[in-house]
């Protein structure tokens, strides 16, 4: 399988710059590129990437998306003087030409295509291209919003043509609507375009009707354009994560892309003067980590906007670090989307209901006209729900943010152990030994006995059980001491091992430990102190066991084809887990598991976004292939493709919905509709 992360950067793209005074364009400065690169260097990320040279995109490549006329106009600016340049620039909404602009824009296109080639050929697994000018606003016949050629759109057409791709996902997390990309692929079902953007009910640039959630695509492309408008500024980490859980990711998994391209603007990050949003740099690590689970890991990240240099640089670093496979830093802040975000999420889900199987059974009849009027309604009684505080929007805010970021980034430990998986060298382990696996010495029996004394001691009579607990504890200790990031242990009694793991880590001092248990759980630890949260995925309702806040039972039997589980993971498990913000995740697989190997692997992969990627996996099943797959997922391999898409049944969709309704007051990341009176 492909490994490595490409980084494409060419300082020539920093020569394109504004030559006259223009308050609209003066934020798009060359330093955006150079200082991002410097920041990458200072975190020692550049040296860990595969350097790939940029090249000029050819005229033919540019013509995949743009008109000949547009190309000729752009070409003609190379020899113009300042006055002429200014005059051509005035023909467009928010664009400036410099004599080097044409060359830079061709490099930006070529750099993007080089990245696509490196990823598609398997030379690298993924990568990022730092380019200027950006691309997502530019249109067939027009420059727009600092963009001349539509780098990402050209890349998608190129990938279709050169590699015969039939499904490409474009994720536009820039704070502006990439209307250029929307126009280009509006009627094209082979490109799924997702964009969230500051909208403020059409007040915010580019102020288009077609940026709203009801623009779902045209003709054959209906359902393949997803707009998530933000109607308030100040959106933060939890709003972005909720958008991924409840809108983008389920659609993306159903779409099953062969390649993912990110229009990666960081003006959606904190401190940006354009976006006025509040998301901190580490959120981009999480977004990147989610997208790495699609298309067998084939992910191309292309720079778009981002105008607060410090915020931009840190966010770029978070993205590249994650592409490299480093542990994902813990997300900060209260985990609850704001009302306005939930409203937008609800609206786009309703608009897309006819086109996506996973949404088909959602009850959205109550939605009529809600969107247009609700913001007026809410003004009257806005104190009933989560609302963002009023944001400071004056100019010295950008300086404040700089200081905030300095502190903040110091507090986000860049976790030192690059992912290493601990395991005991026992039967079966030779099947997943690779360079990232570390063998752990077993503990001696007296040591184990003393560790489990006081709890479950009566259960630990058998030698075999004692030994397996010893393995698990030895591995857990490595994780607690931060010598490794995660670990895997085989156990004849997964429920007991999990229970001991939970008790041990709480004793160690962890305030919140998450346990996802797949299969029959014979022992249920006491979760009343709130220091553990257990989600048990089992086939049948356990008689006498009712779910409570910290012990949730999710009855789920995966379809025979084995791939409808993602809807439960995205619609329930991840939102609960992100609301909880654990310090450690325990994943256990016991007898009678109702999930297939790919479902469990997906779970393992996605749960690595939590607890700084600290996971201990305890697996009862001695089935080598399950151990192997989990070990692979722990080592950061991309999840294998799911195969033919099987939509969840109506019964299952209802089950998730019922659980969401039951728990959304306590686990707020579950919220994706406002009707139930949040
Ligand atoms: N009153 C990118 O982030 N603002 N482009 C125009 C007109 C233009 C942003 C305001 C913002 C363009 C790639
Ligand atoms: Zn932007």
Are 5-411 and 421-647 the same fold in CATH? yes
pLDDT at 459: 67
Residue with the nearest Cα to atom 13 of ligand 1?
Answer: 305
* Assigned CATH for 421-647: 3.40.800.20
DSSP 8-state secondary structure symbol assigned to residue 670: G
C-alpha distances out from residue 653 to 167, 360, 372, Å: 25, 9, 27
| Among 18, 22, 44, residue whose Cα is nearest residue 31 | 18
How far is the C-alpha of 275 from the C-alpha of 272, rounded, in Å? 5
Report the SS3 class of residue 136. Answer: coil
Q: What pTM was computed for the model?
A: 0.94
The rounded Å distance from CA 306 to ligand 1 centre is 11
How far is the C-alpha of 454 from the C-alpha of 467, rounded, in Å? 18
Dihedrals φ, ψ of 548, to 5°?
A: -130, 180
The domain segmentation of the chain, as residue ranges, is 5-411, 421-647
Q: Which residues pair with 277 in a beta bridge?
A: 270
DSSP 8-state secondary structure symbol assigned to residue 48: G
Residue with the nearest Cα to atom 12 of ligand 1?
Answer: 145
As given in the structure block, the two tokens for residue 655 are 């089950």
The rounded Å distance from CA 379 to ligand 1 centre is 29
Q: Which residues pair with 467 in a beta bridge?
A: none
Question: Which amino acids are annotated catalytic?
Answer: 137
pLDDT at 460: 65
How many Å from the N-terminal Cα to the C-terminal Cα in the chain?
45
Which atom of ligand 1 is closest in space to residue 147's alpha carbon?
A: 13
Q: Tell me which residues of the chain have a pLDDT lower than 70.
A: 363-396, 413-418, 425-435, 454-455, 457-461, 562, 621, 639-644, 675-678
pLDDT at 33: 98
Q: Which residues pair with 533 in a beta bridge?
A: 514
ipTM of predicted assembly, 2 dp:
0.99
How far is CA 508 from its chain centroid? Answer: 30
90, with CB counted inside 10 A (0-12, 13-18, 19+), is exposed
Question: 192: Cβ–Cβ under 8 A, 6 or more apart, which residues?
Answer: 167, 168, 169, 170, 224, 225, 226, 251, 252, 255, 257
CATH fit for domain 5-411, picks 3.40.470.10, 3.40.800.20, 2.40.30.10, 3.30.420.140: 3.40.800.20
Q: For a substitution probing ligand 1, which of 305, 307, 315 has the most ligand atoms within 8 Å of its CB?
A: 305
User: What would the pLDDT profile of 570-581 be if each residue is shown by its tens digit?
Assistant: 999 999 999 999
What count of other Cβ atoms lies within 10 Å of the Cβ of residue 250? 22
Q: Which residues pair with 535 in a beta bridge?
A: 516, 552
Report the SS3 class of residue 171. Answer: strand
How far is the C-alpha of 322 from the C-alpha of 105, rounded, in Å? 27
Ligand 1 within 6 A of CB of 146: yes
As given in the structure block, the two tokens for residue 532 are 């553990």
- C-beta of residue 245 within 8 angstroms of C-beta of residue 571: yes
Ligand 1 within 6 A of CB of 198: no
Question: 368: Cβ–Cβ under 8 A, 6 or more apart, which residues?
Answer: none
The rounded Å distance from CA 304 to ligand 2 centre is 6
């Amino acid at each position: 399988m492909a490994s490595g992360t490409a980084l494409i950067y060419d300082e020539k793209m920093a020569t394109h710059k504004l030559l006259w005074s223009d308050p609209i364009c003066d934020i798009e400065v060359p330093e955006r590129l150079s200082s991002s690169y410097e920041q990458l260097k200072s975190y020692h990320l550049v040296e860990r990437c595969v350097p790939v040279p940029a090249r000029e995109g050819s005229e033919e490549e540019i013509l995949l998306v743009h008109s000949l006329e547009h190309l000729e106009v752009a070409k003609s600016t190379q020899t113009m003087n300042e006055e002429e340049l200014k005059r051509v620039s005035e023909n467009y909404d928010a664009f400036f030409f410099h004599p080097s602009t044409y060359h830079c824009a061709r490099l930006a296109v070529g750099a993007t295509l080089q990245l696509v080639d490196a990823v598609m050929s398997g030379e690298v697994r993924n990568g990022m291209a730092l380019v200027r000018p950006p691309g997502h606003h530019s249109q067939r016949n027009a420059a727009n919003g600092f963009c001349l050629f539509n780098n990402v759109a050209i890349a998608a057409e190129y990938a279709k043509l050169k590699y015969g791709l039939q499904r490409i996902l474009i994720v536009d997390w820039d704070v502006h609507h990439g209307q250029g990309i929307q126009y280009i692929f509006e009627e094209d079902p082979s490109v799924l375009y997702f964009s969230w953007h500051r909208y403020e009910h059409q007040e915010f640039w580019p102020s288009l009707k077609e940026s709203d959630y009801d623009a779902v695509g045209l003709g054959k492309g209906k359902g393949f354009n997803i707009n998530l408008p933000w109607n308030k500024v100040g959106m933060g980490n939890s709003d972005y994560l909720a958008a991924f859980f409840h809108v983008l990711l389920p659609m993306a998994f159903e779409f099953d892309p062969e390649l993912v391209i990110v229009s990666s603007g960081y003006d959606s990050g904190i401190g940006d003067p354009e976006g006025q949003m509040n998301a901190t740099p580490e959120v981009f690590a999480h977004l990147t980590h989610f997208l790495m689970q699609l298309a067998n890991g084939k992910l191309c990240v292309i720079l778009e906007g981002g105008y607060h240099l410090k915020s931009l640089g840190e966010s770029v670093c978070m993205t590249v670090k994650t592409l490299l496979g480093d542990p994902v830093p813990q997300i900060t802040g209260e985990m609850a989307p704001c009302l306005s975000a939930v409203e937008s999420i609800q609206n786009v889900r309703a608009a897309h209901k006819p086109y996506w199987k996973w949404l088909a059974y959602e009850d959205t009849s109550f939605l009529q006209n809600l969107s247009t009027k609700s913001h007026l309604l809410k003004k009257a009684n806005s104190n009933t729900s989560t609302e963002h505080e009023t944001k400071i929007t004056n100019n010295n805010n950008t300086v404040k943010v700089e200081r905030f970021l300095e502190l903040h980034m110091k507090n986000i430990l860049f976790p030192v152990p690059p992912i290493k998986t601990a395991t005991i060298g026992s039967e079966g382990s030779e099947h997943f030994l690779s360079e990232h696996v570390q063998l752990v010495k077993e503990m001696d029996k007296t040591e184990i006995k003393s560790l489990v004394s006081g709890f479950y001691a009566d259960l630990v009579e058998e030698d075999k059980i004692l030994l397996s607990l010893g393995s698990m504890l030895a591995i857990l200790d490595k994780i607690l001491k931060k010598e490794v990031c995660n670990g895997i242990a085989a156990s004849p009694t997964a429920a007991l091992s999990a229970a001991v793991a939970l008790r041990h880590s709480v004793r160690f001092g962890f305030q919140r430990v998450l346990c996802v248990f797949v299969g029959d759980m014979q022992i249920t630890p006491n979760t009343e102190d709130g220091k553990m949260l257990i989600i048990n995925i089992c086939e049948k309702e356990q008689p006498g066991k009712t779910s409570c806040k910290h012990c949730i039972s999710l009855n789920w039997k995966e379809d025979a084809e084995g791939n409808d589980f993602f809807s439960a993971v995205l619609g329930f498990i991840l939102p609960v887990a992100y609301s909880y913000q654990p310090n450690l995740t325990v994943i256990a697989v016991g007898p009678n598991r109702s999930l297939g190997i790919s479902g469990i692997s997906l779970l393992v992969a996605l749960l690595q976004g939590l607890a700084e990627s600290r996971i201990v996996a305890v697996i009862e099943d001695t089935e080598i292939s399950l151990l192997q797959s989990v070990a692979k997922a722990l080592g950061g391999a991309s999840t294998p493709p799911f195969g033919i898409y099987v939509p969840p049944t109506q019964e299952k969709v209802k089950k998730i919905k019922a659980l969401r309704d039951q728990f959304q007051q306590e686990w707020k990341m579950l919220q994706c509709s406002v009707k139930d009176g949040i």
